[in-house]
Structure 1
Amino acid sequence: MAGAPALDRLPLVTDDAAVRVVVEANAGSRNKLKYLPEIGGFELHHVLPLGTSFPYDFGFLPSTLGEDGDALDAVVFADEPVPPGTIVACRLIGVIEAEQGQPGEAKKRNDRFLAVARLSHLYRHWHNVGDVPAKALDELEAFFVSYNAQRGTEFKVLGRAGAARATELVTQGRRG
């Protein structure tokens, strides 16, 4: 569409104060895509090994920039997997604060923001990280440790925080 902003430059917040997440990997998929603003499209970035898949939709918050040089990462709790490239309006409910980097090198912050799809029926009652079952959070953290280890990267969980902290960190990461 002529004149449309690139996905990485979309306004972060919708008219009704939801945040947008651009999905790069949908729940149940082994494929992780990466948005390339220079071509305005997605490229296959890597494939998870057999027997592993993304537990929830995973993507980025447009118009943000993290310490790692990429847009802020987000996990989307939605009723069904959403196709990659879809923009999902969400409510931030928390954050898994984390550091990531190559072994032996200084680590950079690379948090995982937790968001509920605004149109979700199953997760509509989740408003803060405390609403998410602890076992689900434990497994999600273990997934990101394993997911990064498969690519030779260390992922260290620093802690979990609620919606207020998530909003604060996203505000700090906003660009443009």
Structure 2
Amino acid sequence: MEKEQLITVLVESPKGYRQKFDFEPGSGRMKLSKLLPEGLMFPFDFGMIPDTKGEDGDPLDVIVLSESGTFPGCLLDCRLIGALTAEQTERDGQQMRNDRFIGVSAVSRQFEEVKTLADLPEDILTQTEAFFENYNRQAGKRFRVLERLEADAAKQLLWKN
């Protein structure tokens, strides 16, 4: 049996938080960058994949499914189960790709059988997409999901970056 390949994720904003933190490479610390509006919070741990770079110049974004949240700056081993390819329109009208990778914490019990997006209940994916759309709308941006990628295609996209 082939050993499962894991990626390391740096959590910036944990599940249930309204605070959006960003990792600052220069200081090696987390910095509070914004507060989400009342009633809007991260549905799962949200962070980045270190040593990667997306079209926006930032490390690639990842949301990590698990039954509990962690804390800002926590490193997690995750298996990549898919991705949402997305187009983001900034306040100034500039458009760029800003994909969201989807992982499952290697220590999760609730999601331990989830290996690909097809294994997830549809409402988790729909609500996650709606969160990113609403989160960006609140910031004056537009976020549009282009495609859902299953695990193998998401891995190819990740290694391309």
TM superposition score normalised by structure 1: 0.87
Q: Is residue 73 of structure 1 aligned with residue 61 of structure 2?
A: yes
The match for 1:24 among 12, 32, 37 is 12
**Aligned-partner Cα distance in 2 for 1:112–1:16:** 21
**Cα pair distance change 1:43/1:132, threshold 3 Å:** same
**Aligned-partner Cα distance in 2 for 1:156–1:88:** 27
Identity %: 39
Q: CA deviation at 1:135?
A: 1.0
Which digits, 9 at most, give the CA deviation of each residue in 1:18-56, with x for residues without a partner? 101100111111011000111110110111111111000
**Aligned-partner Cα distance in 2 for 1:165–1:107:** 23
Question: Secondary structure of 2:54's match?
Answer: coil
TM superposition score normalised by structure 2: 0.95
**Which residue of 2 is the match for residue 8 of structure 1?**
none
**Aligned-partner Cα distance in 2 for 1:150–1:99:** 16
**Aligned-partner Cα distance in 2 for 1:129–1:51:** 27
Do the aligned partners of 2:22 and 2:32 also contact (CA within 8 Å) in 1? yes
Q: Which runs of no fewer than 5 residues in structure 1 stay unpaired?
A: 1-14
Question: Secondary structure of 1:160's match?
Answer: strand
Q: CA deviation at 1:104?
A: 6.1
Which digits, 9 at most, give the CA deviation of each residue in 1:129-153, with x for residues without a partner? 1111111111110100000111111
**Aligned-partner Cα distance in 2 for 1:70–1:161:** 21
Q: CA deviation at 1:17?
A: 2.9
Q: Is residue 50 of structure 1 aligned with residue 38 of structure 2?
A: yes
The match for 1:87 among 75, 79, 86 is 75
Q: Runs ≥4 in structure 1, deviation > 6 angstroms?
A: none
- Count of aligned positions: 159
